[in-house]
């Protein structure tokens, strides 16, 4: 009965109710998007780090992987030591650098990774095969576009450039044996990967047995914190960065996005609350005579309060359901725009949907809608029956 009366009251002014629902839907969509933004980058980065199963990264002391050009010397001995730990399932050494491809009248410069293909965690093959011989590489689509090459082509490449001699150093002929998607690199950056030993030989000098980082995969059930502590104690030249430590550093850098999400999400919640409060208050003001008559014939105050609160709840629930769909659509559109920001890994998403977080956000909006009906409900239940009927009769 109460639900029927509440819906009948809302449907009495269909256009106004529809506009209010749309307003609540926009507020719900914005609230959902801000919740997705505040947690999306962190969760996306976490999934990216865990996508290949490596729980620990080893970087040169005092840096993050590839933050600088610093390398870790004596890589072979460190790799052997790490593999002796009973909790270590795999060790993937990685050396980063530049690859210069001289072409007719121009030079294409690409980022290159030296990896051990059997245990690498930096790229996914899209076609072809992993590089097995020293003269083989896999590349991304941007590399192919910039060089005009195709899988199977042979290119002349160099690992360095001597500005004094104005000549390339560490030259070698490389055959493209596969196409790949590099997980941690921007999609617009030309990238290639080749066997670690081949890149070390091309760079020569101090990098003949050096790497930029190690990625360590632990056995199931192993304690990442304990393994990190063991590495720090036995390999003092590196920082062992676990997933938790990496996320802590990411949180520091992404504080701005979280603050923005919290502020705009709070504004959305407040807008939804005020919109529902305004509409329900206007509706109650229009029906004071009707409410007074109901009270005069014996309808209890509790009945009136419940009816008015149900009106606010109906608006908030309907708006939240519509806002869910609208929020997912806008998040997808905004994510496509922000993902083109230069320098971001191709696999990073700004907006990541989490059912629990979305349910909590929209649940808060529904509770706000219920609370929004509290004031008009109290006002309706507190009407003076005789005074209100007299005023209505005079009017």
Per-residue pLDDT tens listing for the chain (395 residues): 556 655 666 666 677 778 877 888 888 888 888 878 777 777 777 777 777 788 888 988 877 777 777 888 889 999 999 999 999 999 999 999 889 998 887 889 999 999 999 899 889 899 999 998 989 999 999 999 999 999 999 999 998 877 776 777 888 999 999 999 998 887 788 999 999 999 998 888 767 888 999 999 999 888 888 888 898 888 888 888 887 777 776 667 667 767 777 787 888 888 888 887 887 777 776 666 666 666 676 666 666 667 777 777 777 888 888 888 888 888 888 877 777 766 667 667 777 787 787 888 888 888 887 777 777 777 766 666 566 556 655 55
Determine what percent of the chain is predicted with pLDDT higher than 90. Answer: 21
Does residue 287 share a domain with residue 143? no
Q: Is 170:132 a contact under the CB 8 Å cutoff?
A: no
Tell me how far apart the alpha carbons of residues 312 and 10 are, in angstroms, rounded to a whole number. 10
- Map residue 302 onto helix, strand or coil: helix
If one counts the domains in the chain, the total is 2
Q: Which of 44, 29, 20, 19 has the alpha carbon at shortest distance from 333? A: 29
DSSP reduced 3-state for 292: helix
Are 94 and 192 part of one and the same domain?
A: yes
Looking at the structure, tell me whether residues 367 and 229 fall in a common domain: no
Is there a single domain that holds both residue 214 and residue 68? Answer: yes
Domain boundary among 172, 202, 236: 236
Residue 309 lies in a domain: yes
Domain contains 384:
yes
Q: How many CB atoms lie within 10 A of CB 139?
A: 30
How many Å apart are CA 322 and CA 317, to the nearest integer? 9
Tens of pLDDT, residues 221-239: 888 888 888 988 888 888 8
List, for residues 137-177, the tens digit of each pLDDT value: 999 999 999 999 999 999 999 988 777 767 778 889 999 99
Structure tokens at 48: 């990216």
**In 183-220, which ranges are E strands?**
191-195, 210-211, 213-218
> Is 249 among the domain residues?
no
In a domain, 332, yes or no: yes
Write down the mean pLDDT value for the chain.
Answer: 80
* 76 and 164 share one domain: yes
Domain boundary among 236, 266, 287: 236
**Domain-terminating residue out of 184, 204, 236:** 236
Q: Based on the domain organization, do 179 and 132 belong to the same domain?
A: yes
DSSP assignment letter at 205:
G
Count of other CB atoms within 10 angstroms of residue 231 = 24
Structure tokens at 82: 């790490």
The whole-angstrom separation of Cα 20 and Cα 10 is: 10
CA distance 252 to 64: 14
- Please tell me whether residues 161 and 284 are part of one structural domain: no
Query: Is the separation of the CB atoms in 224 and 50 below 8 Å?
Result: no
Helix (H) or strand (E) holding 21: helix 14-50
- What integer pLDDT is reported at residue 371 of this predicted model? 79
User: Is 268 a domain residue?
Assistant: yes
Q: How far apart are the first and last CA of the chain?
A: 30
How much is the pLDDT for 61? 84
Among 17, 32, 16, 19, CA closest to 326: 32
Separation between Cα atoms, residue 348 and residue 323, nearest integer Å: 25
Q: Domain containing 7: what range? A: 2-48+254-394
| 90 contact partners, CB below 8 Å, separation of at least 6 | 54, 119, 216, 217
Which pLDDT does position 48 carry in this prediction?
Answer: 73
Contact 129, 117 (CB under 8 A): no
Distances (CA, A) of 104 to 101, 108, 148, 369: 10, 10, 11, 67
User: Domain check: are 85 and 195 in the same one?
Assistant: yes
Residue 362 lies in a domain: yes
Structural domain includes residue 165:
yes
Structure token pair of residue 11: 């449907």
55 assigned to some structural domain: no
Residues 6+ apart with CB under 8 A from 389: 289, 292, 293, 296
Assess whether 387 and 270 both reside in one domain.
Answer: yes
Shared-domain flag, residues 78 and 204:
yes
Between strands 136-139 and 167-182, the pairing is: parallel
Same domain membership, residue 225 and residue 77: yes
SS3 339: coil
Q: Residue 5: its pLDDT value, please?
A: 56
The pair of three-digit structure tokens given for residue 87, joined into one six-digit string: 């909790």
pTM of the model: 0.68
Neighbours of 141 (CB within 10 A): 14
Task: Give the C-alpha separation, 222 to 369, whole Å.
Answer: 47
Q: Give me the torsion for CA of 41, 44, 49, 55, rounded to 10°.
A: 90
Distance CA 322, CA 320 (A): 5
Beta bridge pairs of residue 99: 110
Q: Check whether residue 218 and residue 94 sit in a common domain.
A: yes
């Amino acid at each position: 009965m109460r639900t029927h009366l509440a819906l009948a009251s809302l449907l009495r002014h269909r256009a106004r109710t529809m506009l209010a629902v749309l307003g609540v839907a926009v507020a719900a969509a914005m609230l959902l998007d801000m919740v997705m933004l505040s947690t999306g980058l962190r969760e996306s980065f976490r999934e990216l780090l865990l996508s290949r199963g490596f729980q620990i990264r080893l970087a040169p002391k005092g840096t993050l992987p590839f933050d600088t050009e610093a390398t870790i010397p004596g890589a072979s001995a460190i790799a052997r030591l790490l593999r002796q730990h009973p909790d270590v399932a795999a060790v993937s050494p990685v050396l980063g650098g530049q690859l210069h491809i001289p072409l007719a009248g121009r030079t294409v410069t690409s980022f290159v990774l030296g990896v051990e293909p059997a245990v690498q965690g930096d790229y996914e093959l899209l076609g072809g095969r992993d590089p097995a011989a020293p003269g083989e590489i896999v590349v991304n689509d941007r590399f192919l576009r910039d060089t005009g090459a195709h899988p199977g082509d042979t290119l002349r490449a160099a690992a360095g450039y001597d500005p004094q001699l104005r000549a390339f150093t560490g030259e070698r002929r490389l055959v493209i044996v596969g196409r790949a998607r590099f997980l941690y690199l921007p999609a617009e950056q030309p990238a290639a990967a080749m066997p670690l030993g081949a890149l070390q030989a091309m760079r020569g000098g101090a990098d003949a047995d050096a790497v930029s980082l190690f990625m360590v995969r632990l056995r199931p059930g192993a304690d990442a914190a304990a393994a990190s502590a063991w590495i720090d104690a036995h390999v003092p030249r590196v920082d062992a960065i676990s997933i938790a430590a990496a996320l802590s550093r990411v949180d520091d850098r992404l504080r701005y996005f979280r603050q923005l999400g919290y502020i705009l999400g709070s504004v959305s919640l407040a807008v939804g609350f005020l919109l529902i409060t305004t509409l329900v208050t206007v509706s109650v003001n229009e029906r004071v005579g009707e409410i007074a008559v109901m009270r005069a014939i014996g309808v209890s105050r509790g009945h009136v309060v419940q009816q008015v609160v149900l009106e606010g709840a109906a608006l908030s629930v309907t708006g939240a359901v519509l806002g869910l769909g609208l929020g997912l659509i806008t998040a997808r559109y905004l994510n496509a725009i922000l993902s083109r920001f230069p320098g971001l890994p191709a696999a990073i998403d700004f907006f990541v949907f989490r059912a629990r977080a979305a349910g909590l956000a929209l649940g808060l909006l529904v509770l706000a809608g219920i609370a929004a009906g509290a004031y008009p409900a109290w006002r309706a239940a507190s009407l003076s029956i005789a005074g209100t009927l007299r005023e209505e009769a005079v009017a």
